[in-house]
Amino acid sequence: MRLSLYLLSGILLTIITISCSSPKNTLSGSSDKDSRPAYADEMSIVDYDPISTLVVPEHKVTKAKFPFVDVHNHQWRMATQDLGDMAQEMDALNMAVLVNLSGGSGDELKAAVTNIRNQAPGRFIVFANIDFDGIDEPDWTKRTVSQLEQDYNNGARGLKIYKNLGLTITDSEGRRVHVDDPRLDPIWEKCGELDIPVLIHTGEPAAFWEPVDKHNERWLEMKQFPERHRDPKRYPSWEKVMSEQWNVFRKHPSTTFINAHLGWMGNDLARLGKLLDTFPNVYTEIAAVLAELGRQPRFAKKFFIEYQDRIMFGKDTWYPDEYHVYFRVLETKDEYFDYYRKRHAFWKMYGLGLPDDVLKKLYYKNALKVIPGIDPSHFPVE
Ligand SMILES: [Zn+2]
């Protein structure tokens, strides 16, 4: 009985295989559609979500091994939000200090600093932002530098530059403002003078410039957010916009820069290493690029050891559970586990298992060195 069932299913399978694999035999001819394999109609790659059967040791981490500073975060209502609640959520992760890069400027920034002092002193640092509107007005630079100075006096402890600089910001004539525009030089110089870092996000993953096809690693992201594709007719190339950023690093050696998101070179750490070798005034951080590290645990670990004085912890979006995956990638040697956002990674994570002295630098020591105003009493004394 069993044998005949096997035979029957074997015959059925053969029939299915033959009918599926012989599209040329159909009456509709041999168009492109017909030459597609039959399984193309069965399931989208987006739906494919296999549950791993691999059984290996697991070490889920919900709290960082050492207190840490998140140097790349965005809180948009800091002037009014309940920071006591937020601090409790931070405690659960062992996050000692959160750097809010979206401090704005003027009254907004001042109100945020006041709210911090009242509700959760020492737990938050605020970076200022600048307004590029009117960049071609003759007094724009002077006005902007003096606003930045005022924001510093009101408690800002860094400047954050968003990716719109170099990609979408234009002057009144519609011309793209380059990252290395000389009108911005006095701003970078002022940050050096005030001894505050500039956290600068320039560009995007290089895959956003590539054709949106089956070979593109970020295909899903561009399907979900078509505007993220950088059409070469409308945008400067990846190399062009990044080289403008590197010109700024070169031109302002006494200003400290934190190159956000591993400078979009998380997929080419050797190249990032060369950049760090070339510019001693440049640091970097790992916000939103964890998936790059988790797919190359051995090389990434080597990189983190070699550049242990130059990398900081960042996350970007505030979803407390997602930090757990950061901790697991950085701290454990776990194998083949899930990342949390499919559009960033069609692959699994592997832990780097960083040594404690490297973790401490990543988690807080480098931030203490680079960002003024962080209360050192949060961290272990050695
Ligand atoms: Zn960000």
* Model confidence pLDDT, tens digit, residues 177-189: 999 999 999 999 9
User: pLDDT at position 32, please?
Assistant: 57
CA 283 remoteness from chain centre: 14
Residues 20, 42: Cα–Cα separation, whole Å: 12
Rounded to the nearest angstrom, the distance between the alpha carbon of 56 and the centre of ligand 1 is 34
Rounded to the nearest angstrom, the distance between the alpha carbon of 198 and the centre of ligand 1 is 13
Across 314-339, average pLDDT: 97
Confidence of residue 49 (pLDDT cuts 50, 70, 90): confident
Work out the number of other CB atoms within 10 angstroms of the CB of residue 207: 21
Rounded to the nearest angstrom, the distance between the alpha carbon of 69 and the centre of ligand 1 is 15
Rounded to the nearest angstrom, the distance between the alpha carbon of 200 and the centre of ligand 1 is 9
Rounded to the nearest angstrom, the distance between the alpha carbon of 72 and the centre of ligand 1 is 6
Rounded to the nearest angstrom, the distance between the alpha carbon of 111 and the centre of ligand 1 is 21
In tens, the pLDDT along 331-341 reads 999 999 999 98
User: pLDDT at position 16, please?
Assistant: 38
Kindly provide the b/e burial profile for residues 42-55, where b requires at least 16 CB atoms within 10 angstroms of the residue's own CB.
Answer: eeeeeeeeeeeeee
- The region of weakest confidence among 36-50, 125-139, 365-379 is 36-50
Residue-wise DSSP of 302-322: HHHHHTTTTEE---BS--HHH
In tens, the pLDDT along 187-227 reads 999 999 999 999 999 999 999 999 999 999 999 999 999 99
87, 275 contact by CB (below 8 A): no
Rounded to the nearest angstrom, the distance between the alpha carbon of 28 and the centre of ligand 1 is 52
Rounded to the nearest angstrom, the distance between the alpha carbon of 74 and the centre of ligand 1 is 7
Residues 286, 262: Cα–Cα separation, whole Å: 6
Report strand pairing: 282-285 vs 311-312: parallel
In tens, the pLDDT along 117-163 reads 999 999 999 999 999 999 999 999 999 999 999 999 999 999 999 99
User: pLDDT at position 382, please?
Assistant: 82
Across 54-63, average pLDDT: 98
Rounded to the nearest angstrom, the distance between the alpha carbon of 234 and the centre of ligand 1 is 23
Confidence of residue 5 (pLDDT cuts 50, 70, 90): very low
Rounded to the nearest angstrom, the distance between the alpha carbon of 295 and the centre of ligand 1 is 22
Rounded to the nearest angstrom, the distance between the alpha carbon of 66 and the centre of ligand 1 is 23
Residues 215, 35: Cα–Cα separation, whole Å: 19
Rounded to the nearest angstrom, the distance between the alpha carbon of 163 and the centre of ligand 1 is 9
Rounded to the nearest angstrom, the distance between the alpha carbon of 289 and the centre of ligand 1 is 11
Rounded to the nearest angstrom, the distance between the alpha carbon of 317 and the centre of ligand 1 is 7
* CB contact set of 135 (below 8 Å; sequence gap of 6+): 169, 171, 177, 181, 183
User: pLDDT at position 14, please?
Assistant: 41
Name the percent of the chain lying above pLDDT 70.
91
User: pLDDT at position 13, please?
Assistant: 41
368, 357 contact by CB (below 8 A): no
- pLDDT reading at 25 higher than 80: no
Residues 376, 122: Cα–Cα separation, whole Å: 9
Q: Which residues pair with 126 in a beta bridge?
A: 100
Across 287-302, average pLDDT: 98
> What is the residue-averaged pLDDT of the chain?
92
Rounded to the nearest angstrom, the distance between the alpha carbon of 55 and the centre of ligand 1 is 36
Residues 190, 185: Cα–Cα separation, whole Å: 9
Rounded to the nearest angstrom, the distance between the alpha carbon of 349 and the centre of ligand 1 is 22
User: pLDDT at position 34, please?
Assistant: 66
The CATH number that domain 68-377 falls under is 3.20.20.140
Rounded to the nearest angstrom, the distance between the alpha carbon of 73 and the centre of ligand 1 is 6
